[in-house]
């Protein structure tokens, strides 16, 4: 619907995964705010590699906002010189893999605007489900959209809200939004961070000396030596300013529904989300898979990086040897050239190399975290056979992905999901393994039971916790006034 800008999309290198949309990082009250933000974003680089951006606020009168956004990786986007220009002790950063809006610099976040002479910046991980309705309403009021992200909707809603304080206006804006939002705003010198009532996407709080830090995953704290404090609660709105950090719970509570795919694939294995270690969860998925879908084989290998922990668990549960049968190239972050007569598995081989010594003449169980379209799995199986594996048994450490995600994950159309309309045996007929086994939904749920609250598993079940809002049916459910600050640990 919206006017879009042209740009070639890089071909995936045999990377048949759902893709996370974004990572958010913010620092309040540290003289080195922008550099710390760049490092925090670097630690969150796995959540988005298309663009990176930082907005900082310098305490001049009036306030000065500095911004730098660029296509590409954090370490290419931010040089020492760029960071020197991002003065101020408050900074907000974002890495992006586009879900809504095209891959274009003008869609890179954080978005930065001015409202009533104050800077207003926003960085968002997630996806709204009532964007069209909201945009239609805003259009009717004369809003102009300069990006094709739904993140820009937050800015327009906040600017139009009636509240007296920035916090009131942000809460009113968020109250009109449906879907998934782990979001951070800079409103003047205030940092306001919030999670949607279902808590679909992660967001957590930490401290670095007297400074506060906010990040999508706690691994971003480790790199800069910050201390993890806690995850934000679903529905929480957290304000950080010169008076410290104050938590609010302005939205009607609903059942928590954390994205289970963060544990399956998106998050880094060294992260802990909702009190649950991702590495432990993946190992447990592997163990359950070993029990549910055993194989008569000689050894177990994992597809690096995300399938390795599950492969270890599978090996443990099935008492098979674990081997490093596949190597991931350290030097490929994007597509490169292709030879004129490329061999069949060229795309996969650019990223993964088989270790023939570990495979030759053996019956191999290969564990991957998920299968999306199935095209990579087919090439992978063929590559393992070419490297000498006698048998290849493919095991998937999650249930069949049958439904697209509408909450901030880049998934293909339903018809492209190989398991959408196929039984596992039919999938395996396409993939060509000696056998194929998936983890059951129960097995998955058991593996993540260390986490408080419920999960969103709509990509497996089609049970979407937040319905799409038909255009026109939107009833503004904005907040008039704040609930009192919540006392937290």
* Structure-token pair, residue 68: 């730098």
H or E stretch at 186: strand 179-187
The owner of tokens 């596992």 is 424
Q: Which of 24, 26, 73, 267 binds a copy of itself (CB under 8 A)?
A: 73
Of 80, 242, 425, 473, the one binding a copy of itself by CB under 8 A: 80
Radius of gyration of the chain, Cα coordinates, nearest whole angstrom: 23
Q: Which of 5, 22, 456, 459 is catalytic?
A: 22
Beta bridge partners of residue 178, listed in sequence order? none
Three-state secondary structure call for residue 381: helix
Q: How far is the CB of 60 from a copy of itself (least distance, A)?
A: 9
Contact 366, 348 (CB under 8 A): no
Rounded to whole angstroms, the Cα distance separating 427 from 431 reads 6
Report how far residue 169's alpha carbon sits from residue 34's, in angstroms, rounded to the nearest whole number. Answer: 26
Residue with smaller CB distance to a copy of itself, 116 or 487: 116
Q: Smallest distance from the beta carbon of 255 to a copy of itself, in angstroms?
A: 27
The runs of H, that is alpha helices, within 240-389 are 261, 278-292, 308-318, 346-351, 356-359, 375-386
Question: Cβ of residue 293: shortest distance to a copy of itself, in angstroms?
Answer: 22
Minimum distance of a copy of itself from residue 320's CB (angstroms): 13
Give the nearer residue to a copy of itself in terms of CB position, either 255 or 321: 321
Contact map string, positions 348 to 377, toward a copy of itself, x by CB under 8 A: -xx--xxxxxx-------------------
How many chain residues are in contact with a copy of itself, going by CB under 8 A? Answer: 103
CB of 363 to a copy of itself, least distance (A): 18
Residues 310-339 that bind a copy of itself (CB under 8 A): 312, 316, 321-324, 327-328, 330-334, 336-337, 339
Nearer to a copy of itself, 202 or 465 (CB): 202
Task: Decide if residue 7 touches a copy of itself (CB under 8 A).
Answer: yes
Whether residue 40 contacts residue 203, with contact meaning beta carbons closer than 8 Å, is answered with no
Residue from 10, 31, 442, 461 in contact with a copy of itself (CB under 8 A): 31
By CB under 8 A, the residues from 33 to 52 that bind a copy of itself are 35-36, 38-39, 42, 45-46, 49
405 is catalytic: no
Residue with tokens 């040089």: 79
User: Does 277 sit near a copy of itself (CB under 8 A)?
Assistant: yes
Binding residue (CB under 8 A) for a copy of itself from 119, 175, 202, 256: 119
Strands (E), 188-338: 190-195, 204-208, 211-215, 227-231, 237-241, 244-248, 257-259, 272-273, 276-277, 299-302, 321-322, 326-328
Classify residue 355 by burial, with Cβ atoms within 10 Å: 0-12, 13-18, 19+.
middle
In whole angstroms, what is the distance from residue 346 CA to residue 397 CA? Answer: 25
- Is residue 32 near a copy of itself by the rule CB under 8 A? yes
Q: What is the DSSP letter of 51?
A: E
Half-sphere exposure of 266 (CA within 13 A, CB side): 26
User: What DSSP element (H or E) covers 181?
Assistant: strand 179-187
Q: How far is the CB of 208 from a copy of itself (least distance, A)?
A: 9
36 burial level (CB within 10 Å; 0-12, 13-18, 19+): buried
Q: How far is the CB of 452 from a copy of itself (least distance, A)?
A: 17
Residue 112 vs 295, nearer CB to a copy of itself: 112
Alpha-carbon distance of 33 to 78, in angstroms, equals: 13
Name which position in 15, 75, 253, 421 contacts a copy of itself (CB under 8 A). Answer: 75
Residues 137-196 that bind a copy of itself (CB under 8 A): 139, 141-146, 148, 155-156, 158-161
Span of 68-76, 192-200, 256-264, 459-467 interacting with a copy of itself by CB under 8 A: 68-76
For the CB of residue 217, give the shortest distance to a copy of itself in the complex, in Å.
Answer: 11
Give residues 192-231 in contact with a copy of itself (rule: CB under 8 A): 219, 222-225
**Which stretch of DSSP H or E encloses residue 409?**
strand 409-410
225 or 467: whose CB is closer to a copy of itself?
225
* H/E element, 67: strand 64-71
Catalytic (active-site) positions: 22
């Amino acid at each position: 619907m919206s006017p879009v800008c042209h740009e070639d999309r890089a071909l995936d290198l045999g990377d048949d995964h759902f893709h996370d949309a974004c990572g958010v990082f913010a620092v309040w009250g540290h003289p080195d705010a922008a550099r710390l933000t760049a490092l925090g974003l670097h630690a969150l680089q796995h959540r988005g590699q298309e663009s990176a951006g930082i907005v900082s606020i310098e305490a001049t009168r009036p306030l000065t906002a500095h911004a730098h956004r660029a296509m590409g990786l954090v370490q290419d986007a931010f040089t020492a010189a760029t960071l020197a220009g991002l003065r101020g002790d408050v900074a907000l950063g974002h890495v992006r893999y586009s879900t809504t809006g095209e891959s274009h610099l003008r869609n890179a976040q954080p978005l930065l605007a001015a409202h009533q002479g104050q800077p207003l910046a926003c960085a968002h991980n997630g996806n709204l489900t009532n964007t069209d309705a909201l945009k239609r309403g805003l259009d009717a009021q004369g809003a102009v959209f300069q990006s094709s992200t739904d993140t820009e909707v937050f800015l327009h809603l906040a600017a139009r809200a009636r509240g007296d304080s920035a916090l009131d206006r942000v809460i009113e804006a968020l109250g009109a939004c449906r879907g998934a939002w782990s979001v951070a705003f800079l409103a003047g010198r205030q940092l306001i961070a919030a999670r949607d009532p279902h808590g679909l996407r992660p967001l957590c709080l930490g401290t670095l000396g007297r400074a506060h830090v906010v990040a999508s995953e706690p691994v971003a704290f480790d790199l800069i030596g910050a201390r993890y404090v806690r995850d934000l609660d679903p529905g929480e709105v957290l304000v950080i300013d010169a008076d410290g950090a104050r938590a609010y719970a302005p939205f009607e509570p609903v059942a928590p529904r954390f994205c289970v795919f963060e544990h399956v694939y998106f998050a880094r294995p060294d992260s802990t989300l909702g009190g649950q270690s991702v590495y432990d969860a993946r190992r447990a998925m592997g163990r359950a898979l070993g029990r549910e879908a055993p194989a008569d084989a000689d050894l177990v290998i994992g597809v690096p990086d995300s399938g390795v922990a599950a492969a270890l668990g599978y090996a443990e549960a099935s008492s098979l040897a674990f081997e490093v049968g596949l190597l991931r190239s350290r030097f490929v972050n994007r597509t490169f050239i292709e030879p004129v007569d490329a061999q069949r598995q060229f795309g996969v081989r650019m990223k993964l190399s088989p270790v023939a010594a570990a495979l030759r003449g053996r019956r191999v169980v290969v564990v991957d975290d998920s299968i999306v379209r199935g095209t990579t799995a087919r090439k992978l199986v063929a590559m393992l056979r070419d490297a000498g594996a006698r048998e290849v048994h493919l095991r998937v450490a999650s249930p069949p992905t049958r439904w697209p995600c509408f909450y901030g994950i880049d998934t293909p159309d339903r018809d492209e999901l190989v398991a959408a309309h196929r039984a596992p045996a039919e999938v395996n007929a396409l993939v060509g393994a000696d056998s194929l086994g998936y983890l059951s939904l129960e097995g998955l749920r058991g593996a993540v039971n260390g986490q408080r609250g419920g999960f969103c598993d709509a990509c497996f079940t089609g049970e979407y916790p937040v319905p799409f809002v038909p255009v026109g049916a939107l009833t503004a459910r904005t907040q008039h006034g704040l609930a009192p600050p919540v006392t937290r640990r």
